[in-house]
Amino acid sequence: MAMSSQLGFSTSINDLAREYAASVRGKTILITGVTAKSIGAAFVLGIAATSPKLIILAGRTKAKVEQTGKDLEAAHPTIPWRLLELDLADQDQIRRAAGEVVRYEEIIDVLVLNAGVMSTPWSTTKQGIEMQFGVNHVRYFLFANLIIPKILKSPAPRVVLTTSDGHRLSPIRFYDHNFDNGKTYNSWYAYGQSKTANMLYARSLAAKLPSLLVFSHHPGVINTELMQHMNDNDFPGSDRHGPRAGLVDVLG
Q: Which residues contact 131 (CB under 8 A, 6 or more apart)?
A: 89, 117, 120, 122, 123, 124, 125
* All residues at 6 or more sequence positions from 166 whose CB lies less than 8 Å from its CB, including other chains: 118, 188, 191, 192, 195, 247, 250, 251
Using CB atoms within 10 A of its CB, is residue 63 exposed (0-12), middle (13-18) or buried (19+)? exposed
Residues 6+ apart with CB under 8 A from 212: 148, 151, 152, 157, 158, 159, 205, 206
Cβ(117)–Cβ(132) below 8 Å:
yes
Of 104, 140, 189, 191, the catalytic one is: 191
Largest Cα separation within the chain, whole Å, is 54
Cβ neighbors of 94 (< 8 A, separation 6 or more) are: 86, 87, 88, 139, 142, 143, 146
How far lies 178's CA from each of 37, 116, 217, in Å?
Answer: 31, 17, 25
- Per the annotation, the verdict on 191 as an active-site residue is yes
Q: Which residue(s) pair with 216 in the sheet?
A: 161
Phi, psi angle pair for 60, to nearest 5°: -80, -40
Query: How far is Cα 36 from Cα 64, in angstroms, rounded to an integer?
Result: 7
**Positions marked catalytic:** 191
